[in-house]
Chain A
Amino acid sequence: MIEIDNLHKKFGKNEVLKGIDLTIDNGGIFAVLGPNGSGKTTLIKSILGMIVPNSGIIKLNGTSIKKSWEYRNDIDYLPQIANFPGNLTVKELITMIKDLRSSKQVDDERLIELFKLQPFLDKKLNNLSGGTKQKVNLVLTFMFDSPLVILDEPTTGLDPISHIRLKELITAEKEKGKTILITSHIMSFVEEIADEIVFLLEGKIYFRGSIPELKTKTEQPDFEHAIASMLSSSYA
């Protein structure tokens, strides 16, 4: 369970998070949405401890994450941009990440098979295309069996088949009872898989609830328009 209490973060003069209160219970898929620059990635990186918030408390399963790092053993994180050290091969990278995690239960082979990555295993990461890098990124994220999965724009650069595989993968993880946090700009993808929406706007939570609730609130028949209407009403 994630509990976030009054989270603030400033980058210089730019106040990105202005008091986020959020509780996410175990199990289910939660989509964090919002326009560019609304603080989605900042929020996610704060949970991971990559960003140090100015104030506020983040608790994971009841314990504060501040100054602790062991808790990241329970998180699988997919970064937004697949940036890897370029002179490693795919295989070396996978071995390295395995070496760094304490959990020894990994099923990288199944995932490599699933995304058809065998021909790339001995290639250097510099020489891979954007989509293939994203697949490697997905393998690194899903090969561990952690109770919390955080995906920042998981669909970037994927071809349609991998896209379908990814959806299957996410649904399978959910059925194991995991908590999954996703950010995405692809509304059809979100509508298909998300159980609940957290909508961020200018560093605050503007809406939280299920998709049907959102449709009723905005009086729009489909999801994409509902989001758009929320955005335009806030811009007005």
Chain B
Amino acid sequence: MLKILKYSFFDLMRSRWSYVYFLFYLLLGVMLLFLNNDLSKAVITLMNVIIVLVPLIGTIFGVMYYYNSKEFTELLLAQPVKRSSIFLGQYFGVALSLSMSLIIGLGLPFVFYGIFNSGAIWDFSLLLVTGAFLTLIFTALAFVIALANENKIKGFGYAILLWLFMAVIYDGIFLMSLVYFEEYPLDKFSLVATMLNPVDLSRVLILLKLDISALLGYTGAVFQKFFGTSFGLILSILLLFIWVVVPTFFIQRMAKRKDF
């Protein structure tokens, strides 16, 4: 698997898109720091960007890479390589190079600004870890979608829908149901609903760490009340981890049964 990962990774490192992505984050980081002049405020703005954008890029890149490397995959399938290694290798190749663009792209401006001498270092690291998690999760989901759909257009469509649902529609439905069922106790429901969406989960995770109660929102507050800050943090990281493992397991399972 490591060999495949290596080739996928280098293949992507040579592609223009990795640099575009990297430069985007670099610019974003520089701009935020210049405009804000305040590290912790920059971290909050970044969080809002990361939580929406990282899943989108992960999904699109994942689907695109899968369909584009079809030839490579077919070539590999005839070689003495285990099937699941091919797909897992490609998946980790994509996810790793995306995470690297994110971490290095955002990291550089913050390092130069002097994040190491500031109290915001842990908030910032957590933000990057969450970004990496979101990349891993959404790239894996994209691979699952691509494996299930031979048709490129369909695959792209479902992937975009998935992102739209998780990043935008889910919250809408969630809020509406909170308003609608106002009279009932909703603690448990909102807890579960947050855990079922990695985007919400990441938001709660970061806000718990930042400890800004004004931004926590209802779910965040419930989360904090229920689990306390530190246990809540650990729990949400654990859940994000599960969100990575489950789709990865599906990639492996689907790869085993597919015809080429």
Contacts and interface: CB of A to CB of B under 8 A. Distances in A.
A190 B140 CA distance: 46
Given A85-B69, A96-B7, A50 B75 contact: no
Interface string B218-260: 0000000000000000000000000000000000000011111
Contact of B260 (A51, A69, A70): A51
A102 interface: yes
A152 B76 CA distance: 16
Given A85-B69, A96-B7, A79 B79 contact: no
Most chain B CB within a 10 A radius of its CB, from A45, A71, A96: A96
A85 B11 contact: yes
Contacts of B69: 85
A100 interface: yes
A83 B75 contact: yes
Interface stretch (B55-63, B80-88, B167-175, B204-212): B80-88
Contacts of A86: 71
Contacts of A87: 11, 14-15
B81 A79 contact: no
B259 A11 contact: yes
Contact of B79 (A11, A72, A88): A72
Interface size bucket, B side? 20 to 34
A225 interface: no
B74 A102 contact: no
A57 B233 CA distance: 52
A102 B3 CA distance: 13
Given A50-B260, A69-B82, A100 B76 contact: yes
Interface of B: 3, 7, 11, 14-15, 69-72, 74-83, 256-260
7 nearest A-B residue pairs (beta carbon) = A83-B71, A72-B80, A85-B72, A73-B80, A77-B78, A51-B259, A50-B260
Given A48-B77, A85-B11, 11 more contacts: A11-B259, A50-B260, A51-B260, A52-B257, A52-B259, A69-B82, A72-B80, A83-B71, A84-B71, A85-B71, A87-B15
Interface of A: 11, 45, 48-52, 69-73, 75, 77, 79, 83-88, 96-97, 99-102
